[in-house]
Amino acid sequence: MDVMDFFRMSAGQWTSQRTTHHLPFRRAELGGSTISVEALDAGHPSVVEICQLHEVDPGLAVGGAYVTWQGAMAWDKDDENHEGSTVFALVPDADDPSRGQLLRERGYAEIVPIIGRYEIDDDGGLLLITEYETMSSVERFWFANSDLRLRTSIVKRFGGFSTASFCAESRLVEPAPERDGDRDKVLAPVSAFGW
């Protein structure tokens, strides 16, 4: 599997159930979100734009993705907002296409343009490593099956505060129309788990 295969498999709508462990406080927080992933071809204008933002030759990119999300966590305050979008481009290393740069317009842990690293591991999982000015993050994504994607993440702040998260992300499946008397009705989308 190459990195774009992984993002093509990830394309679509997902519902995510998340547990975040706040390690210094020895407490866990639950949350959830909906996520939309669109795989982008190498020549897509957004991929080209992100490459230009980071002064990287767009001809080196193999593609990218556009991701949107909307969610909530149990301890949210009234002014907290867990929604947004990001575009990124993937630029493989010349000597090993299973590794490379992940050019983002918006980071995971800090909302700034950032260049991270990606790696497809021996088990077909995607590892994302990002170093920010005040923190670092490591995320790993993998598929249990085509409709269930799992994700772990560790965020380390340089002051010593760390969080570890686990997410189970199930694909939203568009149901077939169902006849109900003389009218057609479409059932609401359900996840692989029926959530």
Q: Is the dihedral of CA 120, 121, 127, 133 positive or negative?
A: negative
Name which of 151, 147, 100, 109 is nearest 130 in CA terms.
109
How many Cβ atoms sit within 10 Å of the Cβ of residue 18? 21
Q: What is the mean pLDDT of residues 66-84?
A: 80
Q: What is the mean pLDDT of residues 153-168?
A: 90
Q: Backbone phi, then psi, for 73, in 5-degree steps? A: -120, 155
At 97-118, the pLDDT tens digits run: 999 999 998 655 556 788 999 9
Q: What is the mean pLDDT of residues 32-56?
A: 95
Q: What is the mean pLDDT of residues 177-190?
A: 41
Higher-pLDDT residue of 48, 182: 48
Least confident of 77-86, 119-128, 159-168: 77-86
CA distance 63 to 4: 7
CA distance 143 to 185: 32
* % of the chain at pLDDT higher than 90: 64
CATH code, 3-185: 2.40.128.20
* Gyration radius (Cα) of the chain, Å: 18
